[in-house]
Structure 1
């Protein structure tokens, strides 16, 4: 199959955090010119899988470099199928967009494992008869720097994972809903607004996102976090700095006190990076050099921007009112701006829930939203009703 297709060379510069994964993740042949082609797969070890899956495999597929918006590369991920036989028309498909895991290849979920929280969430969908394709995103597992929280690369990785598995496995329905949390919430939203132009062949019914980032200038100056409090979330800033600074040494944006933790973030996954922050008692006040950091961040803002705020499909957005990782005010601003742009949003707030708590609390509501979409029904639209639905 591959030999019959036009091919191109894969041009990927060595990236931050590259290596320490198996040869599966490296493709040393010419690439098919078409994005969304499944290159190979292999069984996923049980300890890296989901208990409710009847079949699970690691996958490698082609995509487009979302940083430059041109040229081919490879992206890895995983495919999980429910137990039993597929229904007529194939298993309905969910494209899962994961939250922050780190920027090193070894942090890729298809290589390292998924959190207990994510396993519980994804197993619930498998039990309901949904298949799941789960991208690792560009540069996680595969060669090249992972463009952390950059919206176009993440959308391309999700959309091409859908193309790859639906073309290769006839047991899957062509209809799909994308679901994501945190970094993956941004990827889910970005997938919804990118699909019409990049992947009109993908039958996307809708998108679900919780803890969704909205990185705009007003958000940068609206933080209510105590600058003198030890804050594990500083680890996210280290990842931003390494991947958004166009090759600059990220330690230049932080204080000498933080240098060890900043450097470690290149190869450490998120839980270790957060632990490093806690152990070294880093706070915003003793970690960030405001002028250099904000200068870098403002220059990088276009990379974090959504292509549009008006997707063609309905969105489910969920916010925990106690979210300390992605400011609830920023999430509500995303809803407000999206509604003003003409989006259709079923918006839920989860009182007292934090970043992870809202994700888990939203499951029942998200199931109703997704089930309705696959049944061809009409989902609620907060933008019209004005009613924010509580948990």
Structure 2
């Protein structure tokens, strides 16, 4: 039982994120499609108006080449979206925000470029457009493109993000070479990993800084305990476990979910392959799934070979990082975020950390924008960013 509870604590560190509703778009512009070379723009199409952002002067669905992040080699195609600010680009071009999204599901219909974004995310991305940044938003490998989605695989998310940057910067969209990598929750983890992979995988990409709110800390979560009193409570976080199990089986059929999931959990598992996150939460709640009645084995131990790919390649990031934490965050627990800040600082990263009193996981995203905007201006301009490794403010879970 202790191991099963520990796996739930680890899952809590991945957090929640985006809220999707499905739609599609129409072709106008196609680039060369003969080869899916990494960073090559293959197609650009206007998004349907309902899929756009209010502050965008132009919104496009894109398709581009990348590298299979699971295998570490081999050409693949990935989809995403590009949002350009209103008006003409400034001299030198618009700086670029590369947005790393949070959990939406693992089926193609859940891809963010096919869906209306949540009010929270629209508000946040509109803020960057109004500030004069273009926004490229990858769907990640296997979401809306051929092959399974390697859910939580940090290298796959990083390669997809870096090649999205390359694709649009070479597409004649009036972009500068300066880039910020930005993400929330699971997307914050993807953003941090992208910054870590960038020097080796994409040294040509000029990453000026990274902004991460509600960032996961897998290393701390894997060794954490959790409240035994919660074992019998219906827990929608089990949806994330089912996504992990489903994605693992799609990528490698040797993973048999029946080895660790109970008969009661198996119908919800069957839905995970093509059910987007809001409906997946509902499926878990409707089935009355708890940690006690969903697992018959040690989920964390069984899927450890898969989940090791959710870790960060390094904690020493060569460009400055902004980390925003809500003091009341229990989805990616605030003490674990603080521990990651301390570890990254100790590794030599320049971390500007902020704690937002009274705010939970989701509310921190838009509240942090007043501070991250200043950080972004400094980073884009190449000015020094002061490290803040021990921000003031108690967080939930302090003893």
TM-score, length-scaled by structure 1: 0.88
Q: Distance in 2 between matches of 1:167 and 1:371?
A: 23
Measured against aligned partners, the alpha-carbon deviations of 1:90-134 in whole angstroms (never above 9, x if no partner) come to 011100001100000000010122111101110111111110000
Q: 2:109 aligns with which of 93, 99, 106?
A: 106
Q: 2:308 aligns with which of 302, 325, 335?
A: 302
- After superposition, where does 1:376-387 map in structure 2 within 5 Å? 376-383=382-389, 386-387=390-391
Give the CA RMSD over aligned residues. 2.2
User: Post-superposition shift, 1:224?
Assistant: 3.9
User: Post-superposition shift, 1:244?
Assistant: 3.3
1:6 matched residue in structure 2? none
User: Post-superposition shift, 1:382?
Assistant: 1.6
1:211 aligns with 2:211: no
**Relative to 1, partners in 2 of residues 1:324 and 1:214: Cα closer, same or farther, differing over 3 Å?**
same
What is the DSSP-based 3-state SS (H/G/I as helix, E as strand, rest coil) of the residue aligned with 1:325? coil
User: Post-superposition shift, 1:181?
Assistant: 0.6
Q: Which stretch has the larger CA shift, 369-378 or 72-81?
A: 369-378
1:134 matched residue in structure 2? 137
User: Post-superposition shift, 1:373?
Assistant: 1.3
**Which fold has the larger relative contact order, with Cα–Cα distance below 8 Å and residues 6 or more apart in sequence?**
2
2:20 matched residue in structure 1? none
1:339 aligns with 2:345: yes
Q: 1:237 aligns with which of 241, 245, 250?
A: 241
User: Post-superposition shift, 1:334?
Assistant: 1.3
2:16 matched residue in structure 1? none
Q: Distance in 1 between matches of 2:170 and 2:392?
A: 39
Preserved CA contact (<8 Å) 1:254 1:289: yes
Preserved CA contact (<8 Å) 1:382 1:388: no
2:6 matched residue in structure 1? none
User: Post-superposition shift, 1:288?
Assistant: 2.3
Q: Distance in 2 between matches of 1:267 and 1:273?
A: 9
Q: Distance in 2 between matches of 1:112 and 1:220?
A: 36
Q: Distance in 1 between matches of 2:316 and 2:384?
A: 18
1:279 matched residue in structure 2? 286
- After superposition, where does 1:60-209 map in structure 2 within 5 Å? 60-209=63-212
User: Post-superposition shift, 1:284?
Assistant: 1.2
User: Post-superposition shift, 1:255?
Assistant: 1.4
User: Post-superposition shift, 1:228?
Assistant: 1.8
What is the DSSP-based 3-state SS (H/G/I as helix, E as strand, rest coil) of the residue aligned with 2:209? strand
Preserved CA contact (<8 Å) 2:247 2:273: no
TM-score, length-scaled by structure 2: 0.87
What is the DSSP-based 3-state SS (H/G/I as helix, E as strand, rest coil) of the residue aligned with 1:257? coil
User: Post-superposition shift, 1:350?
Assistant: 1.7
User: Post-superposition shift, 1:320?
Assistant: 1.7
1:371 aligns with 2:374: no
What is the DSSP-based 3-state SS (H/G/I as helix, E as strand, rest coil) of the residue aligned with 1:312? coil
Q: 1:257 aligns with which of 261, 264, 267?
A: 264
User: Post-superposition shift, 1:219?
Assistant: 2.9
Q: 1:355 aligns with which of 352, 356, 361?
A: 361
Preserved CA contact (<8 Å) 1:31 1:72: no
2:14 matched residue in structure 1? none
Preserved CA contact (<8 Å) 1:205 1:374: yes
Q: Distance in 2 between matches of 1:145 and 1:377?
A: 41
What is the DSSP-based 3-state SS (H/G/I as helix, E as strand, rest coil) of the residue aligned with 2:215? coil
User: Post-superposition shift, 1:390?
Assistant: 8.8
1:311 aligns with 2:317: yes
Preserved CA contact (<8 Å) 2:24 2:47: no
User: How many residue pairs were aligned?
Assistant: 366
